[in-house]
Structure 1
Amino acid sequence: MSKEVKAWGAISPEKTEPITITRRAPDDEDVGIDIKFAGICHSDIHTVRSEWGKITYPLVVGHEIAGVVSAVGKNVTKFKIGDHVGVGCMVNSCRQCTNCQDGEEQYCYSGAVMTYNGKDPKDGTITQGGYSQYVVVDQAFVLRVPESVPLDKAAPLMCAGITLYSPLHHWKAGPGKRVGIIGFGGLGHMGVKLAKALGCEVTVFSQTYSKREIGLQLGADNYIATSEPNVFSALTHKFDLIINTVSASIPLELYLSCLRRDGSLVQVGAPEKPLVISPFSLDAQRVGLHGSMIGGIAETQQMLDFCGEKQIFPEIERIEASYINEAYDRVLKSQVKFRFVIDISTM
Structure 2
Amino acid sequence: MTNCLAYCAHEAHADLTPLRIERRALRDDDVAIQIAYCGVCHSDLHFAHNDWGSTVFPCVPGHEIVGHVTSVGSAVSRYRVGDQVAVGCLVDSCQQCAACEQGEESYCEKGMTPTYNGRDRQSGAVTQGGYAQHIVVREKFVLRVPEALDLRYTGPLLCAGITVWEPLRTHGIKQGSRVAVVGLGGLGHMGVKLAVALGAEVTVITTSPGKADDARALGAHHVLLSTEPAAMKGAASSFDLILDTIPRKHNVNPYLMLLARNGKLALVGALEPLEPIHGALLAFNNRSISGSLMGGLAQTQELLEFCAEHQVLPNCEMIRMQDINSAFERMEKNDVKYRFVIDMASLSDVQVD
TM-score, length-scaled by structure 2: 0.96
Structure 1 distance, partners of 2:340, 2:275, is 29
Q: Which residue of 2 aligns with 1:13?
A: 12
Letter in 2 for 1:101: E
**Greater shift after overlay, 185-194 or 242-251?**
242-251
Q: What do the CA deviations read for 1:22-44 (whole angstroms, capped 9, x no partner)?
A: 10011110000000101011111
Q: Which residue of 1 aligns with 2:194?
A: 194
**Is contact 1:246-1:271 (8 Å) kept?**
no
Structure 2 distance, partners of 1:110, 1:275, is 30
Q: What do the CA deviations read for 1:306-328 (whole angstroms, capped 9, x no partner)?
A: 00000000000000111111111
Structure 2 distance, partners of 1:303, 1:173, is 14
Structure 1 distance, partners of 2:231, 2:331, is 28
Tell me the number of residue pairs that the alignment of Structure 1 and Structure 2 aligns.
346
Structure 2 distance, partners of 1:224, 1:328, is 30
Does residue 1:90 correspond to 2:74, yes or no?
no
Displacement, 1:249?
Answer: 2.3
Q: Which residue of 2 aligns with 1:265?
A: 265
Unaligned 5+ runs, structure 2: 348-353
**Is contact 2:249-2:270 (8 Å) kept?**
no
Q: Which residue of 2 aligns with 1:335?
A: 335
Structure 1 distance, partners of 2:247, 2:177, is 25
Q: Which residue of 2 aligns with 1:68?
A: 68
Does residue 1:4 correspond to 2:13, yes or no?
no
Displacement, 1:225?
Answer: 2.5
User: Any residues of structure 2 matched to 1:145-224 within 5 Å, and which?
Assistant: 145-224=145-224
Structure 1 distance, partners of 2:346, 2:295, is 30
Q: Which residue of 1 aligns with 2:294?
A: 294
**Greater shift after overlay, 228-237 or 311-320?**
228-237
Letter in 2 for 1:17: T
**Is contact 2:182-2:205 (8 Å) kept?**
yes
Secondary structure in 1 matching 2:326 = helix
Q: What do the CA deviations read for 1:157-185 (whole angstroms, capped 9, x no partner)?
A: 11111111111001000112100111111
Displacement, 1:273?
Answer: 3.8
Structure 1 distance, partners of 2:314, 2:143, is 18
CA RMSD, Structure 1 to Structure 2 (Å): 1.1
Q: Which residue of 2 aligns with 1:79?
A: 79
Structure 1 distance, partners of 2:100, 2:53, is 25
Secondary structure in 2 matching 1:231 = helix
Does residue 1:227 correspond to 2:227, yes or no?
yes
**Is contact 1:32-1:137 (8 Å) kept?**
yes
Does residue 1:47 correspond to 2:47, yes or no?
yes
**Is contact 2:225-2:232 (8 Å) kept?**
no
Structure 2 distance, partners of 1:275, 1:152, is 39
Unaligned 5+ runs, structure 1: none
Structure 2 distance, partners of 1:340, 1:225, is 27
Secondary structure in 2 matching 1:66 = strand
Structure 1 distance, partners of 2:155, 2:191, is 16
Secondary structure in 1 matching 2:153 = helix
**Is contact 2:93-2:100 (8 Å) kept?**
yes
TM-score, length-scaled by structure 1: 0.97
> Judging changes above 3 Å, is the alpha-carbon distance between structure 1 residues 291 and 299 closer, same or farther for their aligned structure 2 residues?
same
Structure 2 distance, partners of 1:173, 1:273, is 27
Structure 1 distance, partners of 2:311, 2:217, is 15
Does residue 1:277 correspond to 2:277, yes or no?
yes
Displacement, 1:207?
Answer: 1.8
Identity in percent: 44
Q: What do the CA deviations read for 1:21-66 (whole angstroms, capped 9, x no partner)?
A: 1100111100000001010111111111112232221100111001
